């Protein structure tokens, strides 16, 4: 199930300067799966494995010898052909993960994940806002392209979970 608007259930806790209102680019996707929150989380924090199931992720690298994402981890990766430098800002195991990213052109993004246990598995929601000149200029393209790619990311994440 996908939507491009947030629902009444839990969503990302955006910092004040990253809220969806007024952002040139905002996308929301969600997926219901029979996988457990623990299984989803294990794959989500393994950023080095993302290219195996999310083709829009290239060359992920974690700083300071980290093998998995953790609170405060800085990591770098290429997505939509742009190298993004990101830092984990929210890290609640099996429930919430969020990062702030910046690009060489001065763009910024805030991307978060919410995992909620359900009777049959879990609901995974992901939201992102972008600000800056490039997101503003490319907003019409980026909104649709990101919505499509984030859905693929959700599906790949659920498929990769054990």
CATH of the domain at 92: 3.30.530.20
**What is the pLDDT at residue 10?**
65
Provide the 10 A C-beta neighbour count for residue 107: 20
**What is the pLDDT at residue 105?**
81
Whole-Å CA distances, 154 to 20, 65, 70? 20, 27, 20
Q: What is the pTM for the complete model shown?
A: 0.92
The count of domains in the chain is 1
**What is the pLDDT at residue 64?**
79
Q: Residue 29 domain-assigned?
A: yes
Kindly tell me if the per-residue pLDDT of 1 is higher than 80: no
- Find how far residue 97's CA is from the centre of its chain: 8
Alpha helices by DSSP H, the chain: 37-44, 50-53, 133-137, 139-160
**What is the pLDDT at residue 9?**
58
Q: Which of 2-6, 14-18, 124-128 has the lowest mean pLDDT?
A: 2-6
Q: Residue 6 domain-assigned?
A: no
pLDDT digits (tens, 9 = 90+) for 114-131: 999 999 999 999 999 999
Q: Residue 2 domain-assigned?
A: no
Kindly tell me if the per-residue pLDDT of 144 is higher than 90: yes
Q: Residue 62 domain-assigned?
A: yes
User: Mean pLDDT, to the nearest integer, of 30-56?
Assistant: 97
Q: Residue 104 domain-assigned?
A: yes
Q: Residue 4 domain-assigned?
A: no
Q: Residue 71 domain-assigned?
A: yes
Residue 88, domain extent? 24-160
Q: Residue 122 domain-assigned?
A: yes
Give the residue with greater pLDDT, 49 vs 2. Answer: 49
């Amino acid at each position: 199930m996908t939507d491009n608007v947030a629902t009444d259930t839990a969503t990302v806790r955006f910092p004040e300067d990253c809220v969806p209102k007024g952002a040139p680019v905002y996308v929301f996707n969600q997926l219901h799966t029979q996988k457990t929150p623990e299984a989803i989380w294990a794959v989500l924090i393994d950023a080095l494995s993302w290219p195996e199931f999310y083709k829009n992720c290239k060359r992920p690298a974690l700083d300071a010898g980290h093998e998995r994402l953790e609170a405060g981890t800085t990591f770098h990766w290429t997505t939509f052909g742009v190298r993004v430098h990101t830092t984990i800002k929210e890290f609640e195991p099996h429930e919430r993960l969020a990062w702030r990213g910046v690009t060489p052109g001065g763009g910024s993004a805030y991307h978060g994940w919410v995992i909620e246990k359900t009777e049959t598995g879990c609901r995974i929601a992901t939201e992102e806002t972008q600000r800056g000149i490039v997101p503003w200029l490319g907003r019409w393209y980026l909104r649709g392209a990101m919505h499509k790619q984030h859905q693929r990311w959700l599906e790949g994440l659920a498929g990769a979970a054990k």
